[in-house]
Amino acid sequence: MEKIASFQVDHTTLRPGMYLSRRDGNVVTFDLRFKVPNTGDLLTNAEMHSMEHIIATLLRNSPQKDAVIYFGPMGCQTGFYVLLDGAQLSMAHCIALIQSVFEAGANYAGEMPGKSAVECGNYINLDVDLAKAQCRYYADVIKGWTVEQLAY
C-alpha cells in the first residue's frame, strides 16, 4: 500500500508549529502540532476535547466560517488537523485565521460550548481552563508564523 502523507514526515525531528499537510483540490489540510512526537509528552484527553470544543466553535463563528471544513484532534494526541477551503483563503489568511482563533481561545471568557449530556457524548471531561492554557501555549508557538514555515 501507498504510505499516506503524514506517515512520510520524520516525526523524530518535527517541532510544535503549523504545517501544510496536504492539498486535495481546494481542500487544504494543516497539521497543528502542539507536542514533540515520540517523547511521551502528549495532550491529555481532557485538553484535546476541551480545545476541540472551543476552537471548533470559534472557527465556525469566525468571519471566515464558510472556508472552514473540519477541525479535530490527531489520534496520536500531539495536535489537531484543520481543513480549510484554499479557494477562499490564501495561505497567509489561513495562518492569520488560526492565529486569531487560538488567541481568542486563550482569552475565552464564556462557558464551555457543548458541555451537556444532550450536546456531547463525553461532556464530563470538558474544562475551560485547560483549553485556555493550551490555546495560550499554541498562540505563542505560532505567533509570527509565516507561509515559509508551513513546510515540514
User: Per the domain annotation, does 152 fall within a domain?
Assistant: no
Q: Residue 57 falls within a domain, yes or no? A: yes
Looking at the chain, how many residues does it have?
152
Residue in the block written with cell 508557538: 141
Of the CA atoms within 13 Å of residue 100, those in its CB half-sphere come to 15
Write out the residue range of the structural domain in which residue 15 sits: 5-139
CATH of the domain at 114: 3.30.1360.80
Environment class of 13 (CB within 10 Å of its CB; exposed 0-12, middle 13-18, buried 19+):
exposed
How far is Cα 92 from Cα 62, in angstroms, rounded to an integer?
Answer: 16
Please give the full DSSP string across 37-51, using - where no structure is assigned.
TTSS----HHHHHHH
d(CA 113, CA 107): 14
| pLDDT at res. 104 | 98
In a domain, 130, yes or no: yes
Q: Is residue 135 part of a domain?
A: yes
3-state helix, strand, coil in the chain (%, to 5): 40, 20, 40
Q: What type of residue sits at position 72?
A: G
CB contact at 8 A, 94 and 30: yes
Q: What total number of domains does the chain contain?
A: 1
- pLDDT tens string, the chain, 152 residues long: the values are 988 877 888 888 889 999 999 999 999 999 999 987 777 788 999 999 999 999 999 999 999 999 999 999 998 899 999 999 999 999 999 999 999 999 999 999 999 999 999 999 999 999 999 999 999 999 999 999 999 999 98
Q: Is residue 9 part of a domain?
A: yes
